Each structure stands twice: as C-alpha cells, then as structure tokens.
Amino acid sequence: MKKVYKVEDLDCANCAAKMESAIQKINGVQSASVSFVAQKIVLEAEESALSGIEKQMVKVCRKIEPDCRIKL
C-alpha cells in the first residue's frame, strides 16, 4: 500500500535524505521517499503493518529533525 504524508518544518535537504535512509531501514517498508522541496513522505508498505511503521517513522524523523512534524 502506498501512502503520502505531509511534513511540516523540514528544514534541509540533508535531513530529508537522512530520514529517507532511516525510514527505508524500518522492518516492513518496501520503499520510502522523502522530498524536501515538496515537504512530503511517500511510503510503500504492507497495509497490515502500516500502523507500527508510522509510529517508528515518526520516532526516527524526530531523532533527525526534532522540530519536524508528520501529518498522519
């Protein structure tokens, strides 16, 4: 299942690249793309695991960019 999330207060392209790399390492994620310019995350994962993946995604993104918020 493919899902798109709006991101707020993502400050730099380097942080977006770090987030993308971290999200791709989460168990169950098939693909992930973080766009600094569009301020969005495109995530592809199993629908049954999506809830847990979203929680982990928020956690890793906060670690990289503490002010960043993901609209779930």
Tell me how crowded residue 37 is: count the other CB atoms within 10 A of its CB. 8
Looking at residue 10, the DSSP 8-state letter turns out to be -
Distance linking the first and last C-alpha atoms of the chain: 15
Strand partners, 16: none
H helix runs in 1-72, sequence order: 13-24, 50-64
Tens place of pLDDT for every residue, the chain, 72 residues?
999 999 999 999 999 999 999 999 999 999 999 999 999 999 999 999 999 999 999 999 999 999 999 999
Query: Could you tell me the domains of the chain?
Result: 2-71 (3.30.70.100)
The Cα–Cα gap between 72 and 3 comes to 10
